[in-house]
Chain A
Amino acid sequence: MHSWIEKQRNIIDFTLSSLSRRKGKNIALLLVYTLLVFLLASVMFFTHALKREAALTLRDAPEIVVQRMSEGRHEPIPRKYIEVLNKIKGVTSVRGRLWGYYYDSVIGANYTILVPENFPYKSGDIAIGSGVSRVRLAVKDDMVPLRTFDGISIPFHIRDVFSSESELVSSDLLLVSEPDYRRLFGTSKDLFTDITLKVRNAKEIPTVTEKIVMLLPDTRPITKREILRTYESIFDWRSGIIVAILTGAVLAFIIVSWDKASGLSADEKKEIGILKAVGWETSDILLMKFWEGAVISLSSFLAGVLLAYVHVFFTSAILFEPVLKGWSVLYPEFRLVPFIDPYQVATLFFLTVVPYTVATIVPSWHAATIDPDSVMRS
């Protein structure tokens, strides 16, 4: 065992001095390789963390949201529908929700306005998201005026500026009481924006949705799973754009690394001949080439993944922000919660480190099987 370790150590030592001989070439390769892993890992970490963020946001969401449809569009839903839905077996709670969008003509931005289930403040109070606070330069206890549907300006007392676990969705949020919401938009007391349902047993959700459509044919039930799926497909689509852009870079890298790894120069071939002549076995030479490929690809991989981690979780993916977060006047200023899926890292590892290492070994194997006496004749 000790001898095996010493042998590896000796061969690694030699490999490292070998690598330092072609310093410029190897450093260039290392940089390109690191950049590639960095880009791929950034996209991977970012989309994954966003999806997780979305899942976190929806964790406490109701199982089913019922919307009323009219002329193919989403319309306010009558209060009386709540009684109908309450009678469906398996449904544990039914609640009417009020939410909409408020256009702020001063800033030219759209806010999401919502009546929460338990608004802790009184009428005339408001809680705002950190994005709104930023653009309106408004802090806690300031007054912020909002215009009603009929053009009257109502001052609201800011009771809270909240920063949530996921700023991505709460940045542009306004929370108001139910009477204030109805006053702002002129919504009748008999109407809600939509109705949410909680279902005790997740397996009953398909049956419940079927019953809803039967009982209230002008409604559309949306399940939590569908919302999650939509989020995922949006993020997948966006990361797909980035990956498509990166494909060119990946191909260029494949060509460079294949050329570097597969084409042994005359010097390298001669060196293999010398090693064989002085008593190295073919397997020793392959071991050396394996370490050579592994040193380059592993260090690039680790550096790339580490940089991607910093990029995504500490600088909020500054390079991809416009594409991946979407376009909005109010950019959420948030930090994703660091999360790494080992399965994804393993996939990236097998897509980058393994092919490179193999590409390094195969041509050397060809060269290493030659008779060492070729050295005598060179």
Chain B
Amino acid sequence: MMILELKNIHKIFNQGKSYELVAVDGVTVSLEAKKITVLKGPSGSGKTTLLSLAGCMARPTSGRIFLGDRELTSLPERFLTEIRRTSFGFIFQQFNLVKGISALENVMLPAFPLGGSHSALKKHAQELMELFGISGRALSKAEWLSGGEAQRTAIARALINDPPVIIADEPTAHLDTKLSREFMDIVGRLKAQKKTVIIASHDPLVYEAAVIDRVITMRDGKIEGAEA
């Protein structure tokens, strides 16, 4: 079953200007549910842009995106936010934790506007942190966390609203080999939980991992090839 379908997607930055940049150039791709897909390619190949388009973080210049049966391209911003909140969990390259607040609060952050019970939310966040072995750091401020702890916090945050799709952009870029392998173990656990995972990475530790179902190679905004 396909969860995400991107049809003839173009994304052009600064269109019509002398410094116009075509980041994604006519990409058509279908991503399967409950599988792990890696977008591989050098810097500037369009991986991150494609990831942000798939995750409703940006709109394509042209083309259509479907999540299941629902077309997302023409939806107003309000609905896109709703979809982003309920369907996608994001793990960013820089982790993007909010500094000055605790790791626990960072994990709870995506659920704040949903209006659920505060105590239930807190309990759920603590469970997730427990799952990733960082419950001891729950009350530490985000900036006091080590690289590995910060990333696990970011993963827990991505899972707080229990989304079916997890999107990770260069998740191992700031991790050493040991932590990168641990990250891939976590990805394996997510797969076991029937989550769809889409990762953009040019790290062989990621795209060569056994747990990966599919690798899509990108170059100059186009798909070069896909291997299962």
Contact = CB atoms under 8 A, between A and B. Distances in A.
A279 B96 contact: no
A284 B113 contact: yes
B117 interface: yes
Contacts of A10: 108, 111-113, 115, 118, 121
Given A371-B58, A376-B169, A278 B115 contact: no
A22 B98 CA distance: 13
A258 interface: no
A4 B115 contact: yes
B100 interface: yes
A373 B57 contact: yes
A134 B100 CA distance: 60
B116 A3 contact: yes
Nearest to A371: B58
B35 interface: no
Nearest to B120: A6
A264 to B, nearest CB: 15
Contacts of B94: 378
Contacts of B77: 282
Interface residues of A, number: 36
B113 A17 contact: no
A10 B101 CA distance: 14
Interface residues of B, number: 41
Contact of B116 (A6, A13, A18): A6
Contact of A373 (B58, B85, B161): B58
B48 A377 contact: yes
The interface centre, meaning the residue of B98, B110, B157, B161 with most chain A CB atoms within 10 A of its CB, is: B98
Contacts of A363: none
A279 B57 contact: no
Contacts of A277: 57, 84, 90, 92, 96
Contact of B52 (A21, A275, A373): A373
Contacts of A281: 78, 81-82, 113
A377 B46 CA distance: 12
A376 B113 contact: no
A373 B117 CA distance: 29
Interface string A20-48: 11100000000000000000000000000
A274 B116 contact: no
A222 interface: no
A6 B58 contact: no
A277 B92 CA distance: 10
B105 A280 contact: no
A6 B97 CA distance: 23
Interface string B38-81: 00000000001101100001110000000000000000011001
A3 B117 CA distance: 8
Given A10-B115, A10-B121, A275-B109, A21 B48 contact: no
Given A14-B105, A18-B100, A18-B101, A372 B161 contact: no
A279 B161 contact: yes
Contacts of B194: none
B114 interface: yes
Given A371-B58, A376-B57, A378-B94, A7 B101 contact: no
A328 to B, nearest CB: 56
B81 A278 contact: no
B113 to A, nearest CB: 4
A373 B105 CA distance: 22
Interface in B109-133: 109-118, 121
A3 B116 CA distance: 6
B99 interface: yes
Given A17-B105, A18-B101, A278 B157 contact: yes
Nearest to B57: A373
A2 B116 CA distance: 9
A3 B115 contact: yes
A276 B117 CA distance: 21
A267 interface: yes
Contacts of B81: 276, 279-282
17 contacts: A5-B115, A6-B115, A6-B117, A9-B118, A10-B111, A10-B113, A22-B100, A274-B97, A274-B98, A275-B109, A277-B84, A277-B90, A277-B92, A280-B113, A373-B49, A376-B169, A378-B96
Interface of B: 48-49, 51-52, 57-59, 77-78, 81-82, 84-86, 90, 92-94, 96-102, 105, 108-118, 121, 157, 161, 169
In order of increasing CB-CB distance, the 6 nearest A-B pairs are A279-B85, A21-B100, A7-B115, A3-B115, A373-B52, A373-B57
Given A13-B112, A21-B99, A277-B92, 4 more contacts: A270-B96, A274-B98, A373-B49, A373-B52
Interface of A: 2-7, 9-11, 13-14, 17-18, 20-22, 267, 270-271, 274-282, 284, 371-373, 375-378
